[in-house]
Structure 1
Amino acid sequence: MFPRPIIDPLISTIAPGFRAVSLFVDAHGVATMPLDPAVLADACRVVQEGVPTWAEAHLSSWSDVYAGFGAKPNRTPCSAQALRKRVLKDGALPTINPVVDLYNAVSLRFAVPVGGENIDAYVGAPRLTVADGTEQFDTIANGAPAIEYPAPGEVVWRDDVGVTCRRWNWRQGTRTRLDSFTGRMWFVLETLHTMPIDGLNEAATALEAGLRTLIPGCLITLDTIATAKPFRKSFPFLQCRTEAGRTEAQ
């Protein structure tokens, strides 16, 4: 069983159009295959070609949301914006590991923030909420482990222990990061109203297909999460799915 992510009702006042897709992956006893280098290279090429058409509007919306809760988007942009800036400047991204390269490629191709976490390191369910400033955030500073604290009012992902990702999706912590790909993983794709629903549909499909290629035999549970009403009627394909070829309607 996977813990379903929880969205604080306050998020609906900060980003009324927020919606996301959540994928839980069980890769116990399954080997990871190499990632075709063309996957990341093609995504970088797409960015340089100005695709997708909604990229500018969607990332601009994220900047507005960041500014709304006190962050400085030019200094600490959302994860998708940070990746695109690197590609537009350098023409490519360095490889990290197959799973991270895969979800970075999806983020670039669809201009959508994508995060990947070690769900086995979580204590309780992932929660998107507003920080009060006392929550601990495990990170690295000057090459050594360090503890930081979010600003009061900052939007964060957290669990029962502390913050797992600061400034919504800007920077992940060290405690729950993906260092191993043989256990259980959690991925989340996050969008605002300026990204078409079909775009989120395609991005989730691409990530799921990529994970099944990268980790043959893994079990995937896919679902939608949102701030207010469920979005399942808008995502007819996004039903809770487990093994390939098997679908369980919610």
Structure 2
Amino acid sequence: MLDDIWVDEAVFALRPDFAVLVMTAYDLRNGPTDDRSRAWLAEAAEQPVQTEKIDAWKDAYRAFGAKPQKTRPSVDALTRRLPLPEINQAVDAYNSISVKHALPIGGEDLDRYVGPARLLRAGGGEESEEALGQPEPGEVIWRDDLGVTCRRWNWRQGARTRLTEETTNAIFLLERLEPMSLEELKEAGEELADLLTELSPEVRITTRVVSDGK
């Protein structure tokens, strides 16, 4: 699964500095928010807002015609929500890392995917959930063989593949633009892996960075 995930050249043409750290986590034990994951969220909420990183994502949205003040990049929307929302332990884990590093992160149920995840620009007519709405031509989307899993790069994920308390196999997508370095991206991935391992000592984690030309 990890090796089959890809990013279309049209996305790199839009933002050559884009990279995504893809992480799979097998044998994950998720559960409702508890004191431990609540503390992760509280600590992340105390971090200063890293405006330059968020502004880079706003620029990326404008590049494909989206209005970031109307449909905000996920990390921008998340940093505006204080206290941070409590969803479940695994989501709390990646949301805390997202806010700490000003890094958009998506987490989804790997068993609900049909075919590999891929990031591309919409051609129009892609299958999409009613709640997500129909992507506009040229919009950057994540999708699998069944249809759209996340619209406008990282604005809104679909319900079909979302992480739930019953999820046992998950995929996490950590999306980087400059000024974040690739080194910090990898550090954020290691921090998320540590939190997931704290939740599930038996979890099996693998990672891969996909960047321009790789």
Q: Same fold (TM over 0.5)?
A: yes
TM (normalized to structure 2)? 0.92
What stretches of structure 2 of length at least 5 have no aligned partner?
Answer: none
Cα pair distance change 1:106/1:139, threshold 3 Å: farther
Answer whether contact 2:11 2:120 (CA < 8 A) is retained.
Answer: yes
* C-alpha distance in 1 between matches for 2:71 and 2:109: 23
C-alpha displacement of 1:125: 0.5
**3-state SS of paired residue (1:128):** strand
Count of aligned pairs between the two proteins? 212
Answer whether contact 2:17 2:178 (CA < 8 A) is retained.
Answer: yes
Cα pair distance change 1:204/1:14, threshold 3 Å: same
* C-alpha distance in 2 between matches for 1:153 and 1:24: 28
Residue 6 of structure 1 aligns with which residue? 6
Residue 206 of structure 1 aligns with which residue? 191
* C-alpha distance in 1 between matches for 2:134 and 2:30: 36
Residue 102 of structure 1 aligns with which residue? 93
Cα pair distance change 1:139/1:98, threshold 3 Å: farther
Larger radius of gyration: 1
Cα pair distance change 1:97/1:121, threshold 3 Å: same
Residue 41 of structure 1 aligns with which residue? 42
TM (normalized to structure 1)? 0.79
Cα pair distance change 1:161/1:57, threshold 3 Å: same
What stretches of structure 1 of length at least 5 have no aligned partner?
Answer: 141-146, 230-250
Using CA pairs under 8 Å that are at least 6 residues apart, name the structure with larger relative contact order, 1 or 2. 2
Cα pair distance change 1:85/1:186, threshold 3 Å: same
Residue 16 of structure 1 aligns with which residue? 16
Bigger drift between 186-195 and 147-156 goes to 147-156
* C-alpha distance in 1 between matches for 2:190 and 2:35: 17
Q: Alignment RMSD, CA only?
A: 1.8
* C-alpha distance in 2 between matches for 1:205 and 1:151: 35
Residues 1:138 and 2:139 aligned together: no
Answer whether contact 1:3 1:126 (CA < 8 A) is retained.
Answer: no
